[in-house]
Amino acid sequence: MERFCFLRDASGLLDNLPSKMLLFLYLVLLALGLHCTPPNISEGKVTTCHFPQQNTTLYKMSSINADFAFNLYRRFTVETPDRNIFFSPVSISAALVMLSTGACSNTQTQILESLGFNLTDTPMAEIQQGFQHLICSLNFPKKELELQMGNALFIGKQLKPLPKFLDDVKSLYETEVFSTNFSNVSAAQQEINSHVEKQTKGKVVNLIQDLKSNTMMVLVNYIHFKAQWANPFDPSKTEEGSSFLVDKTTTVHVPMMHQMERYYHLVDTDLNCTVLQMDYSKNALALFVLPKEGRMNWVEGAMSSKTLKKWNRLLKKGWIDVFVPKFSISATYDLGDILLKMGIQDAFADNAKFPELTEDNSLKLSKAAHKAVLHIGEKGTEVVAVPEVRFPDQAEITLLRPIIQLDKSFLLLILDKNTRSILFLGKVVDPTKV
């Protein structure tokens, strides 16, 4: 029984290891609780993931990161009410923790506290180890699921980043640092956008639009995600031109995918919403949350790590009729104003302290940008071969079955099963708005 709080799926490693003997040795060491480094094949080179001896930090981080995700989501609802919302919480968290490694004093404390960390309860070394494990686990190659998360810092060419910082952010956070001539605004924008476009294989384009010549440091983070459904939809059953209720007076028409299948689902009577879990074929799943009419604000305000844990306990698998719109969603955010309101103030101010990043005392963060893009279709996020369609037997067909129809505003979460991380979080208000 797969649920969204599952531990690492060891079978997924087999597809990416050069030999079964290495896999066997790694699993034996892991079972014994020893520190080990499984092979990671990427671009012909062998890299390593350093897994902590215990998973306590990762469990703690999953809750902290989830609560940060929902706090940030609520900020977006204030900034862009009644509009689609879509972002990658784990990508933003990792980028900010990476930035904090170059900071000290209030600059560092404000960043970590805005993420939900208390340095008394969780020392900086433990946070770093946890995020190193998290990033390496997410970026570990998996057959039938492609996920690449990364960050990049672009720093004014007059500033010299310290060698130790360059080494640390590369090894811990897989982050690259670029020396950039911001006085040539158009060239700097082109450099940043080209890097992000290349790293996301063309999925995220034109991230930066309005650089200024006095820019000193730009933080960008990206996440590229490609996967197929465990139970793909039959395209012949997709109904074109189905109605989707945007608000009380506005209706749009979208392709509506249909499937009768066994899925985990529940009705949360406390929050007045229906929850549908749809698994991807490897290590990831989507949660669709459909509030009853007029209850969206209530559900948004109640979302937390505890809510996810409650749903995990209550989700039950059974045959249901599912109707899901086929759509693409994207959103671009200049995170500066929101991060300021969340308490990250010194990093953007003249009194910013980044002594571990450069010896220049004038360095401060000028811009933090984020863009997320996702396509929901019959096969998943990309076109793949459709496996043989399964049908219930005649006895099950005669039974009345619940119907879940996503024909009005709903929340969408995509989670990684291994790390319990929220890869994407959003709200679909109008699926025709890309």
Asked, colleague to colleague, whether 56-227+329-374 and 235-328+380-428 share their fold, the answer is no
CA distance 132 to 289: 31
What are the extents of the domains in the chain? Answer: 11-48, 56-227+329-374, 235-328+380-428
pLDDT lower than 50: segments of the chain = 1-2, 5-47, 52-54, 382-398
pLDDT of res. 381: 57
Complete DSSP assignment for 71-114: HHHHHHHHHSTTS-EEE-HHHHHHHHHHHHTT--HHHHHHHHHH
Percent of the chain with pLDDT over 70: 83
Q: Which CATH class is domain 235-328+380-428?
A: mainly beta
Q: Encode pLDDT of 45-73 as tens digits.
A: 334 555 544 457 777 899 999 999 999 99
CA distances from 192 to 15, 19, 207, 216, 315 (A): 34, 39, 8, 14, 43
- 56-227+329-374: in CATH 3.90.1150.10: no
Distance CA 31, CA 259 (A): 40
pTM of the model: 0.84
Cα separation values, 255 from 165, 172, 221, 232, 427, Å: 49, 43, 32, 15, 18
